[in-house]
Amino acid sequence: MIHEAIFAGFGGQGVMLIGQLLSYSAMKEGKKVTWMPSYGPEMRGGTANCSVVISDEEIASPVVDNPNLVIAMNLPSLEKFGTKIKEGGTLIINTSLVDKDLKKYPEKVDIFKISATDKATELGNKMAANMVALGALIAKTEIVDLKTLKESLKEVLKGKSEAIIELNKKALKLGYDLAKK
């Protein structure tokens, strides 16, 4: 089993964080992982993405050209990475910020549209949209256990308040539940 993922959005949307959280969680479950960030010229507001590779065997390269998993948090990210996804892959689209459908995806891609930013806002903080999207991805793919993700938040968000950790747990669960319906 090998999963190659790209998580992309504007700087400040937490795409690096969900990449780290997924990587850490997979590592806790005994899988091999790589995580590689990529930033645009500006941090907040510019483009940002990260590549995550999860495997049962040694990973030859952290470079992901044709992912089988993509989370696109905004339209530029969808335009850049949505067409590169492999057939049979899973694409999570944040429809709160993506208002058009490219219709250029490879055939047989599982596309799940979720208004992640709106749902996070309903929970009390739009900054948790990344966790809503990650929860949806986990529900669709079961790469790692949701319980492992929630437990890993404490380590990945070390130094953050318990309220922030709890908000992120709720956001993960919400995205997971919406994708399971």
Q: Would strands 2-10 and 47-55 be described as parallel, antiparallel, or unpaired?
A: antiparallel
Task: State how far the Cα of 154 lies from the Cα of 7, in Å rounded to an integer.
Answer: 21
pLDDT, tens digit only, all 181 positions of the chain: 899 999 999 988 999 999 999 999 999 999 999 999 997 665 556 679 999 999 999 999 989 999 999 999 999 999 999 989 999 999 999 999 998 876 777 778 999 999 999 999 999 999 999 999 999 999 999 999 999 999 999 999 999 999 999 999 999 999 999 999 8
- pLDDT of 99: 86
Which domains does the chain possess?
2-180 (3.40.920.10)
